[in-house]
Amino acid sequence: MPLWLSLAMIGGIFIGYKMRDGIPGKPFFHTERRAPVQEVLDLIRNKYVDQVNLESLSDTAINAILAKLDPHSTFISASELEEVNEDIQGSFFGIGIEFDLFDDTVNVMRLLPDGPASKAGVQPGDRILKADERKLSGVKLPSDTIRKILRGEKGSSLTLNILRQNQPKSITVTRNMIPVNSVDAAYMLSRETGYLRLNKFSTQTYREFMIALTELNKKGMKKMILDLRGNGGGILDEAAEIADEFLAGDKLITYTEGLHSKRKEFRCRRVGQFETGALVLLCDEGTASASEILLGALQDWDRATIIGRKSFGKGLVQEQYDLQDNSALRLTVARYYTPTGRSIQRTYKNGQKAYYEEMENRMLNGSFASDSAKKDSGRVFLTPEGKKVYAEGGISPDEYISADTSRISPTMREYYLRGLFNRYAYLYLQLNPDFDSRYQNQSSFNSSFIMTPADWTNLSAMAAKDSIKNQVLTDAERVIAEKAVKASIARLRWENLGFYEVMNLKDPYILAAQETLNRQ
């Protein structure tokens, strides 16, 4: 019996050892071994002379590791993740107001039409003193903190103590979903030419785009300007869906590939709603990622004319992985390629600091305003019609628009950074209660609004109060400032559509696009 038991035990050990590779998870004779990073953190926790924030140290260690990879692999802390996801999802839960801080007081600038605050009776010009008895005004709270207080779970209530024309009021608002729109504006520039501006690619972008496109088609659009300036990208699939609306057949839109990611193709799947009309895309150095996928697909298939300046040059694809502590890792897993096989990713061999400073350096040395921006590098590819297109460094436009670097004077930069134009527009509407009777509609406003000497005096006084050293604007700066104020007033009165209708007046991009479309 002892002999049989010994043989059975030996046989069991032998069979188990042979089966070890087929068992998922840890090896058969596994010894848990901690990584050096975890060992260091444990030693700091148990041995260090002072108490430290280990969570912060851990985040720093992760960021140091990712800094050795590429500029777009990032760690998102738990405190930041909700806000990042809101931008991707295209919505959040809140009360639907836009506010600004004047003299440490929260002023309601504008309201989401039919949003929770609007329905509850909040009005532009109201000053919010408290939210659920928490003081918001007079306590120097950062804007981000105020924003977090106003947001909350869907269906939750928030009681606002406000001051309206020096009269105190209490209004209770029920939080609800607030859309973060991707379509900034869509309207007809002329009888046949439509204009549509996209600011990002979220999960709602294609749906918003199709609603706007349908309305423009109903108005008789035969030619289109799609404005992607400053669009930093987002979800690849949304960009591919929009490209499908412009391309016929089963054309390749883009494909992705990486060391651990097999080639994945994105192709046209249906009949698009604007496959034949003349098309111009506008881009600049802020046009990146998913926007460049759309640019590359339409340029490679000779479907659109690209006008502007070379795009950002981001050709990497990230996937987001949720971590146990509610943080997340956004890791680069593949590169994307245009239909001709171009990778347009800029080099990041000199480190992340140099990578992100490149655009600023180009602006400072004036290359945006010279022909040097036209000197393309990298491999040359040919489109079906024989046009040369280039890899590396972004999408090169077919027609360049030089940047007017004179607009970025130190004084103007201060005005923009401190939001003075938007702030003065708000004050202007407060000081002019007869605005609606004076301007029957935006068309009359666009054609007849000018700033009076009193307006310039008030703007200068606001700049002085905000400690801007040089409040005196040159004649050239006054032209820019008046347009900025005018556009801000239009936005407060007629939403984003009003803003872009003003900004597009005499815009060199728009003028060049219209000339190109008139030749087609």
Q: Return the active site residues.
A: 289, 300, 314
Which residues fall within 8 angstroms of residue 367, CB to CB, at 6 or more apart? 373
Nearest to 88 by CA among 20, 180, 154: 180
Asked whether the beta carbons of 252 and 265 are under 8 A apart, the reply is yes
The b/e string for 22-51 (b: 16+ C-beta within 10 A; e otherwise) is eeeeeeeeeeeeeeeeeeebeeeeeeeeee
Contacts of 84 (CB under 8 A, 6+ apart): 76, 328
381 close to 440: Cβ distance less than 8 angstroms = no
Cα separation, 241 vs 272, whole angstroms: 10
Backbone dihedral angles phi then psi of residue 447, each to the nearest 5 degrees: -85, -20
* Contact assessment for residue 312 and residue 392, using Cβ atoms and an 8 Å cutoff: no
**Bridge partners, residue 21, by sequence:** none
Torsion of CA 389, 391, 397, 401, to 10 degrees: -130
Residues whose CB falls within 8 Å of the CB of residue 507, separated by 6 or more in sequence, listed in order: none
Q: What is the CA radius of gyration of the chain?
A: 28
Among residues 253, 233, 236, 235, the alpha carbon closest in space to that of 244 is found at 253
DSSP for 246-286?
T--TT-EEEEEEETTEEEEEEE--S--SSSSSEEEEEE-TT
Residues 6+ apart with CB under 8 A from 185: 195, 196, 197, 496, 497, 499, 500, 501
Considering only CA atoms, which of 220, 272, 519 is closest in space to residue 399? 519
Angle at 515 between CA 510 and CA 518, to 5 degrees: 125
If 0-12 CB within 10 Å is exposed, 13-18 middle and 19+ buried, where does residue 453 land? exposed
Q: Which two tokens stand for residue 307?
A: 């006008």
Q: What are the structure tokens assigned to 450, written together?
A: 């000018």
